[in-house]
């Protein structure tokens, strides 16, 4: 399958997405863009969220990480289950009771405007970098396996052009109706992603002479890479307790405290439907992640048998595109990769626009409807340009290691303050001077990094993904100290009067 056939396939795929966007989003006002008119069927949201949660990073990095860490990532996935239970039973009722458009409005209501600005700002930073990580990975694969293989005498496409083209396609089918379009396009993209994984397993297992689920199960069980649970070294970042707790809190912050993921949930008709969505989404997501790890074992075995020199994030693309398995797996791999990446990136672009519009600029209370729409479109274009700049910048920063590990470590530093702020607001009744909140949230990641560095250097203790919980705890403690200071100030003011 040559590059032009792949490009034609991509063009047809995106023509379908654009068609869906125009059918679904005929009425494209701000209420449609931000909330989907609160009319989305819960089962459509649940299915579409699978693709948005997994993304192109999971599609490539989870199978590629098996060679180095076996199936230990499933410890994190098991933690997700506990985290999603907290989202469904604690956070979703809170959001629906307050009828929120942006979940960071809760921080404004609980503490004050500076807290809302802080929460939204940390989300914007987290999502810009997170979405850029994901799109960087996909753009790199397209560049290496598609555009770089086009003969120089025909056309030459640079990496920055690939990135611009990638983001521009997302902008095309999201600019009109935002989240309402994404709820439906993500459903299609999730389907393509799951088909791609199933086809890949079929081709690779057939090449390894494995017939049926029974043979695949036995092969994986007998593999040295099938170990899931790690109990031996409590200092290791693979230790079960660390990874399970990290998984629980990763789910809470990267879904429950993330405007991107919650914006989809808040398009459901009511709380009951949103909770159904979370319940079924959890079950399916757990199973799908396990399948990705099984795929990682098969890919590693195939690459070793065929003497393919590929590892980490290059493993799946190399086997699919250059492994000699035929055009079918190459085609579904490209479609699956694009589907996984875009189902995450399109909602990221929409949620960035929403959070900036609602939390930072507050367009719903400051401007008339027509002005809101014009500003929203302008911000949408602006964040598209920001993503392009950041992704191209990553080309000069990221040189090694699995992207999923980089993504989760970075998330620990940026989502930690959100965890601390929401946790303090929900678990206590204490008040904090909202002016202090930005200083606490900014200081917390720096203190976290210092503690992590010292513990690793002098104690041999690796926090790994557990860094999120440490960061959140430091923010929570900072909020508690600030509440005591605020209380003392009120007492002094009372005595002075």
Is residue 236 scored above 90 in pLDDT? no
Is residue 402 scored above 70 in pLDDT? no
The whole-number average pLDDT for the span 222-229 is 86
Distance, in Å, from the CA atom of 75 to the CA atom of 85, rounded to the nearest integer, reads 16
- Which pLDDT belongs to residue 428? 92
**What contacts 357, CB < 8 A, 6 or more positions away?**
34, 363, 364, 372, 375, 376, 379
| DSSP letters for 408-438 | HHHHHHHSHHHHHHHHHHHH------GGGHH
**Structure confidence by residue, pLDDT tens digits, 59-80:** 777 888 887 778 888 998 999 9
**Residues 90-127: b if buried by 16+ CB within 10 A, e if exposed:** ebbebbbeeebbbbbbbbbebbbebbbbbbbbbbbebb
Answer with the residue of higher pLDDT: 398 or 6. Answer: 6
Residue ranges of alpha helices (H) inside 175-314 are: 179-207, 212-222, 240-251, 259-265, 271-305
The confidence band for 107, taking pLDDT boundaries of 50, 70 and 90, is: very high
Is residue 58 scored above 80 in pLDDT? no
**Structure confidence by residue, pLDDT tens digits, 289-327:** 899 899 889 988 888 888 887 767 778 888 887 777 777
The confidence band for 28, taking pLDDT boundaries of 50, 70 and 90, is: low
Is residue 192 scored above 90 in pLDDT? no
Distance, in Å, from the CA atom of 178 to the CA atom of 186, rounded to the nearest integer, reads 12
From the number of C-beta atoms within 10 Å of its C-beta (0-12, 13-18, 19+), residue 323 rates as: buried
State how far the alpha carbon of 136 is from the alpha carbons of 159, 331, 350, in Å: 10, 20, 18
- Which pLDDT belongs to residue 332? 81
The whole-number average pLDDT for the span 332-346 is 75
The whole-number average pLDDT for the span 133-142 is 76
SS3 for 268?
Answer: strand
- Which pLDDT belongs to residue 421? 94
Is residue 340 scored above 80 in pLDDT? no
- Which pLDDT belongs to residue 404? 54
- Which pLDDT belongs to residue 366? 82
**How many other CB atoms are there within 10 angstroms of residue 2's CB atom?**
11
Report if pTM > 0.95.
Answer: no
- Which pLDDT belongs to residue 93? 92
Distance, in Å, from the CA atom of 486 to the CA atom of 112, rounded to the nearest integer, reads 13
**What contacts 258, CB < 8 A, 6 or more positions away?**
123, 126, 127, 351, 415
Distance, in Å, from the CA atom of 482 to the CA atom of 436, rounded to the nearest integer, reads 7
155-164, 178-187, 304-313: least confident range? 178-187
Answer with the residue of higher pLDDT: 480 or 40. Answer: 480
The whole-number average pLDDT for the span 391-415 is 70
The closest alpha carbon to 448, from 410, 483, 481, 482, belongs to: 410
Looking at residue 218, the DSSP 8-state letter turns out to be: H
Is residue 26 scored above 70 in pLDDT? no
- Which pLDDT belongs to residue 364? 73
22-26, 31-35, 439-443: least confident range? 31-35
- Which pLDDT belongs to residue 152? 63
36-40, 162-166, 212-216: least confident range? 36-40
Is residue 414 scored above 70 in pLDDT? yes
Residues in the chain: 497
The confidence band for 180, taking pLDDT boundaries of 50, 70 and 90, is: low
The whole-number average pLDDT for the span 216-230 is 87
CA atoms within 13 A on the CB side of 119: 30
The confidence band for 408, taking pLDDT boundaries of 50, 70 and 90, is: low
Q: Answer whether 250's CB lies under 8 Å from 468's CB.
A: yes
Q: Answer whether 410's CB lies under 8 Å from 57's CB.
A: no
Looking at residue 401, the DSSP 8-state letter turns out to be: S
Is residue 85 scored above 60 in pLDDT? yes
Is the Cα torsion angle 433, 262, 173, 7 positive or negative in sign? positive
State how far the alpha carbon of 240 is from the alpha carbons of 296, 308, 484, in Å: 20, 32, 36
The confidence band for 488, taking pLDDT boundaries of 50, 70 and 90, is: low
- Which pLDDT belongs to residue 496? 57
Answer with the residue of higher pLDDT: 352 or 42. Answer: 352
- Which pLDDT belongs to residue 115? 93
Q: Answer whether 230's CB lies under 8 Å from 65's CB.
A: no
State how far the alpha carbon of 364 is from the alpha carbons of 101, 114, 209, 350, 368, in Å: 10, 18, 60, 16, 8
The confidence band for 417, taking pLDDT boundaries of 50, 70 and 90, is: very high
The confidence band for 178, taking pLDDT boundaries of 50, 70 and 90, is: low
The whole-number average pLDDT for the span 461-472 is 79
State how far the alpha carbon of 287 is from the alpha carbons of 80, 146, 205, in Å: 12, 31, 19
The closest alpha carbon to 343, from 192, 128, 141, 145, belongs to: 192
Q: Answer whether 55's CB lies under 8 Å from 342's CB.
A: no
Answer with the residue of higher pLDDT: 326 or 207. Answer: 207
Domains of the chain by start residue, with CATH: 3-404 (1.20.1730.10)
- How far is it between the farthest Cα atoms of the chain? 85
- Which pLDDT belongs to residue 447? 94
Q: Answer whether 189's CB lies under 8 Å from 343's CB.
A: yes
The confidence band for 90, taking pLDDT boundaries of 50, 70 and 90, is: very high
**Structure confidence by residue, pLDDT tens digits, 371-389:** 877 888 888 899 889 988 9
The confidence band for 390, taking pLDDT boundaries of 50, 70 and 90, is: confident
- Which pLDDT belongs to residue 261? 78
Answer with the residue of higher pLDDT: 176 or 264. Answer: 264
Distance, in Å, from the CA atom of 434 to the CA atom of 72, rounded to the nearest integer, reads 40
- Which pLDDT belongs to residue 489? 58
- Which pLDDT belongs to residue 406? 65
């Amino acid at each position: 399958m040559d590059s032009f056939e792949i490009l034609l396939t991509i063009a047809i795929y995106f023509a379908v997405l654009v068609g869906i966007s125009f059918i679904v989003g005929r009425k494209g006002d701000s209420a449609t863009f931000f909330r989907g008119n609160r009319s989305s069927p819960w089962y459509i949201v649940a299915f579409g969220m699978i693709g948005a949660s997994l993304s192109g990073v999971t599609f490539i990095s989870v199978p590629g990480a098996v060679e180095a860490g076996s199936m230990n990532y499933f410890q994190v996935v098991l933690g997700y289950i506990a985290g999603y239970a907290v989202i469904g039973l604690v956070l979703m009722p809170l959001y629906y009771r307050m009828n929120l458009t942006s979940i960071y409005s809760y921080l404004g209501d609980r503490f004050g405007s500076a807290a809302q600005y802080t929460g939204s700002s940390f989300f914007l930073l987290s999502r810009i970098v997170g979405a850029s990580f994901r799109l960087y990975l996909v753009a790199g694969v397209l560049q290496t396996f598609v555009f770089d293989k086009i003969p120089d005498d025909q056309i030459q496409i640079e990496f920055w052009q690939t990135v611009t083209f990638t983001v521009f396609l997302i902008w095309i089918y999201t600019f009109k109706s935002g989240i309402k379009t994404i709820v439906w396009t993500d459903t299609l993209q999730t389907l393509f992603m799951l088909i791609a994984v199933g086809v890949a397993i079929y081709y690779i297992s057939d090449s390894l002479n494995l017939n049926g689920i029974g043979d695949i199960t036995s092969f994986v069980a007998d593999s040295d890479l099938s170990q899931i649970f790690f109990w031996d070294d409590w200092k290791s970042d693979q230790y079960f307790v660390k990874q399970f707790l990290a998984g629980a809190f990763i789910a809470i912050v990267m879904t429950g405290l993330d405007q991107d993921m919650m914006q989809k949930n808040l398009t459901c008709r009511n709380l009951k439907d949103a909770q159904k969505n979370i319940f079924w989404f959890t079950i399916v997501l757990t199973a799908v992640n396990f399948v990705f790890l099984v795929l990682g074992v098969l890919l590693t075995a195939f690459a070793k048998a065929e003497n393919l020199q590929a590892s980490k994030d290059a493993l799946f693309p190399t086997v699919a595109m250059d492994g000699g398995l035929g055009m079918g797996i190459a085609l579904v791999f490209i479609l699956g990769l694009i589907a996984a990446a875009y189902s995450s990136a399109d909602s990221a672009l929409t949620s960035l626009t929403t959070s900036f519009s609602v939390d930072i600029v507050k367009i719903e209370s400051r401007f008339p409807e027509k002005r809101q729409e014009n500003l929203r479109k302008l911000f949408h274009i602006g964040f598209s340009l920001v993503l392009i700049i950041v992704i191209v910048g990553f080309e000069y920063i990221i040189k090694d290691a699995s992207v999923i590990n980089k993504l989760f470590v970075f998330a620990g530093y940026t989502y930690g303050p959100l965890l601390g702020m929401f946790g303090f607001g929900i678990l206590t009744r204490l008040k904090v001077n909202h002016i202090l909140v930005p200083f606490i949230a900014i200081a917390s990641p720096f203190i976290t990094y210092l503690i992590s560095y010292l513990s690793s250097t002098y104690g041999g203790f690796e926090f790994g993904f557990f860094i999120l919980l440490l960061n959140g705890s430091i923010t929570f403690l900072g909020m508690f100290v600030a509440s005591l200071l605020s209380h003392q100030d009120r007492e002094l003011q009372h005595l002075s009067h």
